């Protein structure tokens, strides 16, 4: 994979996330919070499933006869885009959905835990390892 292709494949997740988060309100209002979470999960599942059958290991196991029927490198940006759309919708819909279904005495805490987990917690290992390498 060339550097340009790698950059395209990587950036499509961000573009999909932008589009997903931009349209999350429309999806929530039109279909409801629970359905928006299900749509988010569907996008992530389909995108991840298509990436799972993408070339390399899959083609090495099954041979070149199936190379035209599986996802190829040009399809990877579309898979990443779908996964990004699902992630964008989920990040916007998740806290609202949890706030609606949580009991009133812990409603604020549930929203804060979700935001901490999805935004801050993934960066903790980065901080630990980046300081240990200096």
User: Interior CA angle at 128 toward 124 and 130, to 5°?
Assistant: 110
In a domain, 16, yes or no: yes
In a domain, 64, yes or no: yes
Which range of residues forms the domain containing residue 48? 3-101
Could you tell me the pLDDT band of residue 18, with boundaries at 50, 70 and 90? very high
| Cα 14 from Cα 22, distance rounded (Å) | 12
How many structural domains compose the chain? 1
pLDDT surpasses 90 at 5: no
User: What are 70's two structure tokens?
Assistant: 């599986």
In a domain, 130, yes or no: no
The residue with greater pLDDT, 43 or 130, is 43
User: What are 113's two structure tokens?
Assistant: 């835990």
User: Are the C-beta atoms of 29 and 89 separated by less than 8 Å?
Assistant: no
In a domain, 113, yes or no: no
pLDDT surpasses 80 at 105: yes
User: Are the C-beta atoms of 16 and 84 separated by less than 8 Å?
Assistant: yes
| Average pLDDT value for residue range 102-115 | 77
User: Are the C-beta atoms of 89 and 24 separated by less than 8 Å?
Assistant: yes
**Which tens digits make up the pLDDT trace of 24-62?**
999 999 999 999 999 999 999 988 887 777 665 333 233
In a domain, 110, yes or no: no
The residue with greater pLDDT, 62 or 68, is 68
């Amino acid at each position: 994979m060339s550097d340009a292709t790698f950059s395209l494949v990587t950036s499509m997740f961000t573009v999909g996330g932008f589009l997903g988060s931009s349209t999350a309100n429309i999806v929530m209002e039109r279909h409801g919070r629970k359905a928006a979470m299900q749509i988010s999960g569907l996008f992530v599942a389909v995108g991840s499933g298509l990436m799972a059958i993408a070339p390399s290991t899959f083609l090495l196991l099954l041979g070149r006869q199936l190379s035209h029927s599986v996802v190829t490198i040009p399809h990877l940006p579309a898979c990443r885009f779908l996964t990004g759309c699902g992630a964008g919708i989920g990040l916007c819909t998740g806290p609202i959905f949890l706030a609606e279904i949580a009991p009133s005495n812990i409603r604020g805490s549930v929203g804060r835990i979700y935001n901490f987990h999805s935004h801050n917690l993934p960066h903790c290992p980065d901080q630990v390892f980046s300081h240990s390498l200096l």
